[in-house]
């Protein structure tokens, strides 16, 4: 697999271009400030009633209403919540795009699932940092970068890879290495990861372990520490040294017990259900469900949030985390 580094990208490609970053949240502030400090001409687009406007100005950037920012820009990077992008695209972006303009994303959902279908004469690329915005910003200020993915969806002028790589360089990505992907691969793997492993899988694993211990008569405080709190230590070890690095650092008892019991928890049946989850992502069922859920005012989503908020592990966790002075209360 080819990795792209600083030498593979030329910021001069962006020299006479204005980049409008729409949204100033997690990704938006990091892209805008990193590009600005890389010498790229950046403006920020926000809603006229956005409370973030003052923050953008304090950070030294010019801020406009979304539609005006699009009009002024050559490249429009859409860093709004994914489920709001279609409406903003139809109302503020599409009417203000000129032929030759370029539209960019940090996640492929709306392009891949046809929620946004830009005209043929508009180039469309993705640069997706593989980390949250605050990390993208902090690592850049330290002189390094967070690895990025990039992808080309449509390229009417035939030079979009150079533009995308220059953009990735501007946010710091080529300092660490940039990988080429497709909108399809990025979108489907991202959804699968968050559903099966990261958000869905990990939380159910933690909560089920907690409930098994508590139902067997162990103190909820002890169960919380064992099943949730200590997960961070294990994840940090895997993050730094892979699965082998983690097993090297824990006791031999933990290693042996983990290796023998793990496959009983996650077995062939679990694998089959993971494959079904992937299939529902690939065939568009999940996207359709989530788009309709948003159109319907998110009744199911709110009900799920309420159900989750009432879990015993959340109550005991809130109390225990109050004892932990080092955990930021936000
Ligand atoms: P965010 O929620 O942190 O920020 C969204 C911004 O959009 C905020 O400034 C908000 O005020 C603004 N906004 C909300 N609704 C708006 C509207 N209707 N009109 C105009 N502005 C509006 O979002 P984020 O996490 O930065 O995600 C942005 C994009 O980056 C998404 O496509 C996401 O998938 C992608 N992404 C996020 C991460 C991450 O770690 N957060 C990582 C990679 C890619
Ligand atoms: Mg992701």
DSSP bridge pairs for 149: 128, 179
| Confidence tier at 327 by pLDDT (50, 70, 90) | confident
Considering the entire predicted model, what is its pTM? 0.94
| Confidence tier at 250 by pLDDT (50, 70, 90) | very high
Cβ(160)–Cβ(146) below 8 Å = no
Residues contacting ligand 1 via CB (< 6 Å): 23-28, 46-47, 50, 52, 66, 79-82, 84, 88, 106-107, 128-129, 132-133
The whole-number average pLDDT for the span 139-167 is 98
Question: For strand 148-154 and strand 178-180, is the pairing parallel, antiparallel, or unpaired?
Answer: parallel
Tens digits of residue pLDDT in 14-27? 999 999 999 999 99
Q: How far apart are the first and last CA of the chain?
A: 40
249-260 exposure pattern, b = at least 16 Cβ within 10 A, e = fewer: beeeeeeeeeee
Task: Give me the catalytic one of 29, 31, 36, 107.
Answer: 107
* pLDDT of 328: 73
Label residue 93 exposed, middle or buried (CB < 10 Å: 0-12, 13-18, 19+).
buried
Which atom of ligand 1 lies nearest, measured to the CA of 84? Answer: 18
């Amino acid at each position: 697999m080819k990795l792209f580094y600083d030498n593979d990208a030329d910021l001069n490609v962006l020299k006479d271009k204005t980049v409008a970053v729409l949204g100033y949240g997690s990704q938006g502030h990091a892209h805008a400030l990193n590009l600005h400090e890389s010498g790229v001409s950046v403006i920020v687009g926000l809603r006229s009633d956005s409370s973030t406007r003052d923050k953008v100005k304090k950070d030294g950037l010019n801020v406009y209403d979304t539609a005006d920012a699009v009009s002024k820009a050559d490249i429009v990077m859409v860093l709004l919540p994914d489920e709001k992008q279609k409406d903003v695209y139809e109302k503020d972006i599409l009417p203000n795009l000129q032929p030759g303009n370029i539209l960019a994303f940090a996640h492929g959902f709306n392009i891949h699932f046809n929620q946004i279908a830009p005209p043929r004469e508009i180039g469309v690329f993705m640069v997706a940092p593989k980390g949250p915005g605050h990390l993208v910003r902090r690592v850049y200020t330290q002189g390094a970068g967070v690895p990025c993915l990039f992808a080309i969806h449509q390229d009417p002028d035939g030079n979009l890879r150079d533009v995308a790589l220059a953009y990735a360089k501007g946010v710091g990505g080529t300092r660490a290495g940039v990988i080429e992907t497709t909108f399809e691969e990025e979108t489907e793997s991202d959804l699968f990861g968050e559903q099966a492993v990261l958000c869905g899988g990990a939380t159910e694993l933690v909560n089920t372990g907690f409930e098994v211990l508590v139902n067997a008569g162990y103190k909820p405080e002890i169960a919380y520490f064992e099943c949730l709190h200590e997960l961070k230590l294990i994840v940090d070890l895997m993050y730094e040294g892979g699965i082998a690095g983690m097993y090297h650092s824990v006791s031999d008892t933990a290693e042996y017990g983990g290796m023998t019991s793990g496959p009983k928890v996650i077995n062939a049946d679990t694998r089959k259900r993971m494959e079904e989850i992937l299939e529902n992502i690939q065939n568009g069922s999940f996207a359709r469900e989530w788009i309709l859920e948003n159109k319907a005012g998110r009744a199911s989503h709110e009900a799920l949030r309420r159900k989750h908020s009432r879990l015993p592990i959340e109550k005991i966790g809130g109390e225990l985390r109050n004892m932990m002075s080092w955990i930021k209360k936000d």
